[in-house]
Amino acid sequence: MKITIETDEKNIYTEYLTPKEVSSSSSTTSTEKAESSSDAFSTLLNTAIDSIAASNTTNGSTDTAQMTLSEIFQKAADTYGVDVELLKAVAKQESNFNPNSTSSSGAMGIMQLMPTTAEGLGVTDAYDPYQNIMGGAKLLSNLLSKYNNDTSLALAAYNAGSGNVDKYGGIPPFEETQNYVPKVLGYYAEGVTIPASADITASGSVSASQTAESLKTAINEFSSHESYTLFLKELENEMKVETNTTSTAYESLLSAASRAITNTINNYK
């Protein structure tokens, strides 16, 4: 069977995943055939790993799923020119670094972005730590620019909205905002340490490379040619679904293979 991975631009990779080039003599065992097949798939996965790594290096990108909160805050600070300690101070006051936090008013995530605000900032998933922190940093940067780097006014606007700051010509006379600004400034002055329990990978997910390594381990444990053949059928079905997504070719392969292995394990008795 031939698996072809395609994107909108071009065909990226084609590989035959049948137990090819294995002697048909009676002395060749089913285990040997399966091992030959799994070696072919391992080669395919290694190609995927190398491609993803090379792409990340070339583009200067980072696997955001593997960034700690500390790293995300630093990247956001560098990107939008906001003091990283100020960003962390806001996050501590807003959610105490809880990415799943939702306020009674509907503010979401670590930086507590309101739905309309998140949308305006280009944040598509406000509960994703990377998107949320980058969005909060962008908002705070805009507010600091608007108020000539007056941190108190920027924080007041972050909490109560620019309209209220402009309306009252300063920090609005709302109890929440009156308490909010000095608390954040206090954290900012003291310095904030992200709790060790919170400073984990951004989404708790694994990188594509880690996924591939896990798949290689699983595929090499298939004990028979029959189970491997079942896996190939599952992979073919999953690839038909996966190539309709916006994932890159190699990420599509890894995602489809992961599901195919799970299906094989569940179905092969």
Nearest C-alpha neighbor of 109 from the set 121, 33, 15: 121
Q: CA-to-CA distance for 63 and 52, rounded, in angstroms?
A: 10
Residue 226 appears among annotated catalytic residues: no
- Per the DSSP assignment, residues forming a β-bridge with 13 are 5
CATH classification code of 66-190: 1.10.530.10
Instruction: Give 101-136 pLDDT, tens digit per residue.
Output: 999 899 999 999 999 999 999 999 898 899 999 999
DSSP, collapsed to helix, strand or coil, labels residue 159 as helix
Q: pLDDT tens, 33-44?
A: 555 555 655 565
The residue with greater pLDDT, 38 or 70, is 70
Q: Delimit the domains of the chain by residue range.
A: 2-62+207-267, 66-190
Q: How far apart are CA 175 and CA 179, in angstroms?
A: 6
Dist. CA 100–CA 48, nearest whole Å: 32
Whether the pTM exceeds 0.75: the reply is: no
In this prediction, residues 207-224 reach a mean pLDDT of 60
Q: Which of 32, 35, 71, 94 is labelled catalytic? A: 94
